[in-house]
Amino acid sequence: MVMLAAITGFEVKRILVDSGSAVEVLTWEVYQKLGLKEQVLKKASLLYNFANQGCITLLVTLGDSERTITEYV
């Protein structure tokens, strides 16, 4: 499934939703384009093979004009 979402106030198009994935990866380039600061990252201890840079919780808004949900993911 591919969808559109607002992440920290930015509209992000063509998001691939893979319910079978055990890892959620946000590239450093996308992280910077969202205007996020490095200090917001939390160190991750379960995944070591990519870059060992940590993880972050983002405010994500999904839905349309009739039904919308905003959650930290």
Across the chain, mean pLDDT equals 72
In which residue are the tokens 């591919």 written?
2
d(CA 14, CA 2): 6
In which residue are the tokens 């919780």 written?
57
Tell me the domain boundaries of the chain. 2-72
pLDDT digits (tens, 9 = 90+) for 20-59: 655 566 778 888 888 888 877 776 665 555 565 667 777 7
The model carries a pTM of: 0.36
d(CA 60, CA 73): 7
pLDDT at 18: 61
d(CA 44, CA 63): 30
